[in-house]
Structure 1
Amino acid sequence: MKKQFPLFLLLFFAFTCHAVIAQSNDSINKISDERSFSGGLVVDTSGTMRLKMDLVISMLRSFVELNGTDDQVFLVTFTDSDNINIRQEMTTNKEELEDEIENIFIQPGRTAIIDALWAAADYLVDSSKNVQGRYLILISDGDERASRVKLPDLVAKLKNENIAVYIMGIAEQKVETKLLDKIAKESGGRLFVPQTRPEVLETAQRIRQEIRSR
């Protein structure tokens, strides 16, 4: 003879399981939010980016707004090897970052993407201690012209220091994806090529999610 459980017991059991699962998910999300990350925003300000700078600034704003309270971020702009500038040193202050983002402007020089990432990685390693994750976000059209550092050396450095590079490919006409895709994949990051402001916001959210899931 089969035993039948009263309906109220079955409902109680189902409710209890749901509550436990929800609490577990909340705990996981809380742990994820409490993890601190250190990273850098590396922005190509060469002449080929001129007509897309409004889109670039939108992306930077979106990402800063999504940062956690304890996340540390710095801002670098670059053109050639002699014009790589830390516009904002490592900070958790969103207002400081936003102020510097508003003051980004186009500069002369032949683009040195590899050198800029090398310099940003150096600064990131020196400035971030006892953190769970390191990353760089590069915004560029991929038009590499004048770097002194070789690509294999950069890739080895990023791997050794466990720095993932996420790349936002933005260009007036066509993004040169070959170099950008290799850097992203080899470092454990990813290349995105958004075309519109809504896509930029979506990409910023996806990058944040991927950084926190590493």
Structure 2
Amino acid sequence: MQVGPKFLSLLLAAGMSFAAALWPAGHMLYAQQTGTPSAPQTQKSERRAAAASIDAAISPDDEVVTVETNLVAIPFSATDKNRRYVTTLKQEDIRVFENDAPQEISVFQQETELPLSLSLLIDTSGSQEETLPDEKAAAHGFVDAIIRPGRDTAAVISFTGDATVEQDLTGDRAVLHQAISRVQLAPSMSYREATEYLEAAAAKGLDPEEAHRSLPGSTAIWDAIWATANEIMSQTPERTRRAIILLSDGKEDSSSPLKKDDAIEAALKANAVIYSIGIGGYGLDKSALKKISERTGGRAFFPESEAELNAAFAQIQQELRSQYLIAYSPQNKERDNSYRQLKIEIVNPELRKEKLKLSYRQGYFARAAAPVRIEQTPNRKLSKPPRRAKKK
């Protein structure tokens, strides 16, 4: 899609409304459990811990506040049949379930302010030749609009067959602008050039599958999301809102063993929401971009005109600023890395008649241990996912 100057100016201006609204799908707070207090005492202490943890999370101070708790936090929004946002819900109007088991809500509130930890994930494959300049310009505007110095951080990652960290997480806008400016289109290969590349790799004894996955100009989207979630998002402090902003046409054309579900799982484990901006025209995979976004609690947008772009950003702003936050201490205290399904229901009889639509992430992973720290080096390549054993 060709984007004109007027459309681009709208894109940059609309991005300003995005600034203080993001909340990551699945921010979780953990702590050790000690003793065996009575049920009323436990519930009372958990409510106090819940309130303390939320207050600590939104504290403007730079000090690190440690709160011992075991909460699962879920942001959600509600819309009526006319797609208008409902902002009058009360705690007694809803019920939350984990693996079909009802949970007791400890926290119910609207709009929470937390620092942002973002990753700008930019597709530089051959399919983006016409749109990359506009994507970079939009990314520049996005950084100016959303990064609050001293509070928010962002990383810039470009990807084709490999994912390259142009800039690790930083709150310095100037450094981020330099990183975005460095992003360049990866050279594509003809069939003959690709064949020669693979033959040369084989002559050097390189694994054929790895060589094919690293072909210049190919697109390994799921690898890029998987690595970004594992090596960038997982490195951020717990009390941040994590989001991956994916700029791509969603067209996967590598020989990676990873699938969409693997990328979704990695994002959920990192408690990161994915927002996809699909710009690309021919070959745009709307279904894939919608799936990875909606499963993680985000959304996918496909702007084709000024009006549509304006409406998309307005809807993002309204949705995020109309969100509720609920938190609960799960009945299942095990941290076994298992996937737990989430469900939120309207229980108020009058509201049920209105058939409200609730939007929220579909589950989370009960993480067992803190992530391994990754050494930050300039322009480093993110890890490739492990190869899967071939079926005999």
TM-score, normalised with respect to structure 1: 0.75
Deviation at 1:125, TM superposition (A): 3.4
**Is the contact made by 1:75 and 1:88 (CA closer than 8 Å) also made in structure 2?**
yes
Residues paired across the two proteins, number? 183
5+ long unaligned stretches in structure 1: 1-27
Cα shift at 1:53: 1.3
- Among candidates 288, 299, 317, match of residue 190 of structure 1: 299
Superposition deviation, residue 39 in structure 1:
1.4
Q: Does the 8 Å contact 1:37/1:131 carry over to 2?
A: no
The SS at the match of 2:303 is coil
Aligned ranges 1:1-214 → 2 under 5 Å = 32=112, 35-69=114-148, 70-80=151-161, 83-107=162-186, 108-146=216-254, 147-196=256-305, 203=312, 207=316, 213=323
> How has the CA–CA distance of structure 1 residues 209 and 75 changed in structure 2, closer, same or farther, with 3 Å as cutoff?
farther
In 1: Cα distance, 2:265 partner to 2:236 partner: 19
Tell me: higher relative CO, structure 1 or 2? Use CA pairs within 8 A at least 6 residues apart: 2
Runs of 4+ in 1 over 4 A off after TM superposition: 196-214
In structure 2, the residue corresponding to 1:51 is in which secondary structure? coil
Identity percentage of aligned residues: 29
Aligned counterparts of 1:62 and 1:198: Cα–Cα separation in 2: 19
With over 3 angstroms needed to count, the CA separation of the structure-2 counterparts of 1:56 and 1:174, relative to structure 1, is: same
Q: Would the aligned equivalents of 2:117 and 2:233 in 1 still touch at CA under 8 Å?
A: no
1:173 Cα shift?
3.1
TM-score by length of 2: 0.43
Q: Which residue identity is paired with 2:292?
A: I
Q: Which runs of 5+ in 2 are unaligned?
A: 1-108, 187-215, 326-392
Question: Separation in 2 of the partners of 1:205 and 1:94?
Answer: 24
The more displaced of 137-146 and 55-64 is: 55-64
* Structure number with higher helix proportion: 1
